[in-house]
Amino acid sequence: MRVLFIGDILGRAGRTAVEAHLPGLREKLKLDFVVANGENAAGGFGITADIAGQLFAMGVDCISGGNHTFDQRAIMPFLNDEPRMLRPLNYPEGTPGRGVGKYTDARGRKLVVINAMCRVFMDAIDDPFAGVDKALGLNRLKKEADFILIDIHGEATSEKMAMGHFADGRASMVVGSHSHIPTADAHIMAQGTAYQTDAGMCGDYDSVIGMDKEEPLRRFTKKIGKGRFQAAKGEATLCGVFCESDDATGLAKRVEPVRIGGLLKEAMPEG
């Protein structure tokens, strides 16, 4: 199975990059399924139902979230009603939405997407390792699922790498989101799980992690905030991670970064 995870989509520039490049990527890479982190899709702060619908129409099959999932308060009913929308599973019980999604591709193969959020340098939240362990126990490779993807949303690279090892051999792919900077460590772990610490973002890299430079620079240099952060509006780079799995085992055969458009050097797997 061929799956693409798209890193945090940031604002209109990120959405424009997905719209411009995803159809071609689906064709070139013969993708069976696409997951995108959409927690910054609405101007850098949350996501709306309308924007989610636009992303689905562009060819995204599942949208994962993170610490900005609930920034747009009107999204809460949509999270309950739309099975293709996820939020981290380790939010407290009773939080709107779901952290595990179960899907079927065009060939009838079963995919499970698990969305979890780290705790180091993040808001207090339930244990992501316990939550992922429970989800993997209920969704086993080549039993209940042909492909399992974990989006681990977090700040600390060590915590995301620990999750990769924790799920190694039990998931097809573990990929990090949140930091908006693509890491150079795409590889297959010892027990066969594809891994990359952070997929990067779909956003304008002439920025400070996707935000217009003026306000972050003012806050760093003067320690005085003058206004709200605004998403940068230049040409965006679409960043993601491509994984191809072995249908016999559900484990990874290859994993490669994807970067197209904007300022970053292009990285494109062979078809």
Report the CATH number at residue 213: 3.60.21.10
What pLDDT, on a 0 to 100 scale, did the predictor assign at position 225?
A: 80
In a domain, 269, yes or no: no
State the pairing for strand pair 147-153/110-117.
Answer: parallel
Residue 256 lies in a domain: yes
Is position 98 within any domain?
Answer: yes
- Reduce the DSSP state of residue 28 to 3 states and report it: helix
* Separate counts of helices (H) and strands (E) for the chain: 6, 13
Q: What is the SS3 assignment for 213-245?
A: CHHHHHHHHHCCCCCCCCECCCCCEEEEEEEEE
Chain centroid to Cα 138, Å, comes to 22
What is the full DSSP assignment across 135-168? HHHHS-BTTTBSEEEEEEE-S-HHHHHHHHHHHB
Give the pLDDT of residue 51.
Answer: 97
Answer positive or negative: Cα dihedral of 45, 46, 52, 55: positive
In a domain, 106, yes or no: yes
Element (H, E) at 78: helix 76-81
Both tokens of residue 138?
């209920």
The yes-or-no answer on residue 68 being catalytic is yes
Tell me how many domains the chain contains. Answer: 1
Q: Return the pLDDT at 30.
A: 98
230 domain-assigned: yes
176/238 Cα distance (integer angstroms) = 15
Residue at 271 is within a domain: no
Residues of the chain with pLDDT under 50: none
| Domain interval for residue 218 | 2-260
Distances (CA, A) of 125 to 14, 89, 95, 130: 28, 10, 12, 12
pLDDT at residue 226, rounded to an integer? 79
Residue 184 lies in a domain: yes
> Active-site residue among 68, 153, 178, 180?
68
Please check whether residue 270 lies inside any domain of the structure. Answer: no
pLDDT for 71-127, tens place per residue? 999 999 999 999 999 999 999 999 999 999 999 999 999 999 999 999 999 999 999
Sheet-wide strand order for 33-37 = 62-64, 33-37, 2-6, 238-245, 252-260
| 63, 86 Cβ separation under 8 angstroms | yes
